[in-house]
Chains A and B, each alone.
Chain A
């Protein structure tokens, strides 16, 4: 597997939106003065009449998207994850999820890999908050190909969706021809020494760890959980039964995130020990994104150290 080519999933998002805009004229895109960073500008340039810059008012943006959805439009609303899931939480809860409106919230700049902007901009709780909301489906793609699939595929379902995207350019993991299914985790490799459940930017780290460990005769499998909700219980339980250790890794708080999601499934169905890598009850900090992944022990080295 060649992991040299890197693209940030926010870039993949912008490109996917442009393609989607050509295919479906009901797609409208909203942003809150961050279109150059969230990459919705790519759509905006192509379809200026279907792009709405709501300004620095995320709550207004989410509720406006809800209004569009009541009139059969398919709004994609974007800002940084900290402002979408955090600042506009009540709007997502009461104006989108409770009425079950077809709004796609695509939140970029999730996690500590935002980098230099620091703690105020590093959203570490969004998976936790979003997955507790009824009706909402939650996605956290790991690379360019998977992101493009998810962005297009969610236009075909009428549920509200939250998609967690990244600022950091990360390796392209999958071939263009790869097949995905919403709600179905991607298993990479079939090692039996451990399963690494990873999501978002951490999937590529898990794959690097897999290669390093293989050189030492330790064989692990990596499971890319791109759909956090509804979670793929079947794959999680099967892997727990088939492998000796279970590890989770995420650029998110270990409270309520992927690790918690996996633990909930296993507690119900197949109790076993789980090691969770993630941000442990702390805020982020400024720094280079790659350095931060190392600092917070969510990179390949941190996984390798567990063995």
Chain B
């Protein structure tokens, strides 16, 4: 299944956003802000780009996705459910005792989750290992790794960036969800983090800056990444934290809290209207 119709993809990403809000509301905890910012990225990957089969989630030759910013599990779970890896009703068990949908993704519990994540900064290294294995066996599969912009404050990310570049991992595509906010505020004020494009460029990546909430631009950039040879690609996706729910947009306070009954009603009304 590869969906190329932009309106159809937009509808899917909006459905995913609705499920993110419902999932976090129902769990009374979770991370809506960063989940909403990356919903379009996940939509394009899982419905337009990746070579995957929900009926065979462990297939050797499948493309891999590592959600390095594992706290945005509501986005991944909602995407996987929408794509048919498991029933959407399971989203209601998120963060509850004995649910397969743990607070952070567990590859041994959830079909379609390629790597267990949660402790920030480790996913790109894992993606490198997958990409190296793909090249060793001439499997040809691609590996996608989604990083948060706050997450790249972790030093290991840059260790991994050097490794990806050293081994010329052109089957690796990094996406930075650049929504400019982390728990304690703006990434520039918390850690002085800036010039993300130049950083990745100097580490030997092909860098593609895009509007990360624009489906068409994302599709084009993933296509460019696929054609890039001899180096890994980093798509720097400019996004809006909390995208789609006005009162959550660009507000750090919505990084990691659930909406109350009144707020969820407002959020869902807004999202349902925008379809």
**Residues of A participating in the B interface, judged by any CB pair closer than 8 Å:** 28, 49-50, 52, 54-55, 57, 59-73, 75, 90-91, 93-95, 98-100
Please indicate the chain A residues that have their CB under 8 angstroms from the CB of B106 in the complex.
Answer: 98-99
User: Would you list 25 pairs from A and B whose C-beta atoms are within 8 A, ordered by A residue?
Assistant: A28-B136, A55-B162, A55-B163, A59-B125, A59-B155, A60-B163, A61-B125, A63-B123, A63-B129, A63-B160, A64-B160, A66-B115, A67-B127, A67-B133, A68-B132, A70-B107, A71-B133, A71-B134, A94-B122, A95-B119, A95-B126, A98-B106, A99-B108, A99-B115, A100-B108
Is B128 close to A, CB under 8 A? yes
Please indicate the chain B residues that have their CB under 8 angstroms from the CB of A68 in the complex.
Answer: 129-130, 132-133
Please indicate the chain B residues that have their CB under 8 angstroms from the CB of A54 in the complex.
Answer: 159, 163
Q: Which 10 A-B pairs have the closest CB atoms?
A: A67-B129, A63-B125, A57-B159, A71-B133, A60-B159, A99-B116, A67-B126, A94-B119, A64-B129, A68-B129
Is B214 close to A, CB under 8 A? no
Please indicate the chain B residues that have their CB under 8 angstroms from the CB of A62 in the complex.
Answer: 125
* Bound CA span A68–B166, Å: 17
Establish whether residues B126 and A59, one from each chain, have CB atoms under 8 Å apart when the complex forms: no
Please indicate the chain B residues that have their CB under 8 angstroms from the CB of A59 in the complex.
Answer: 121-122, 125, 155-156, 159
Establish whether residues A67 and B60, one from each chain, have CB atoms under 8 Å apart when the complex forms: no
Please indicate the chain A residues that have their CB under 8 angstroms from the CB of B167 in the complex.
Answer: 52
* Bound CA span A98–B60, Å: 22
Please indicate the chain A residues that have their CB under 8 angstroms from the CB of B116 in the complex.
Answer: 94-95, 98-99
* Bound CA span A272–B129, Å: 48
For the complex formed, measure the closest distance between the CB of B161 and the CB atoms of chain A, giving whole angstroms: 9
Please indicate the chain B residues that have their CB under 8 angstroms from the CB of A75 in the complex.
Answer: 129
8 Å CB contacts to A: which residues of B123-146? 123, 125-134, 136-137
Please indicate the chain B residues that have their CB under 8 angstroms from the CB of A95 in the complex.
Answer: 115-116, 119, 122, 125-126
Which of A50, A67, A98: most chain B Cβ within 10 A? A67
8 Å CB contacts to A: which residues of B154-201? 155-156, 159-160, 162-163, 166-167
Is B118 close to A, CB under 8 A? yes
* Bound CA span A94–B123, Å: 11
Establish whether residues B159 and A70, one from each chain, have CB atoms under 8 Å apart when the complex forms: no
For the complex formed, measure the closest distance between the CB of A190 and the CB atoms of chain B, giving whole angstroms: 44
Please indicate the chain A residues that have their CB under 8 angstroms from the CB of B133 in the complex.
Answer: 67-68, 71-73
* Bound CA span A69–B64, Å: 13
Please indicate the chain A residues that have their CB under 8 angstroms from the CB of B107 in the complex.
Answer: 70, 99
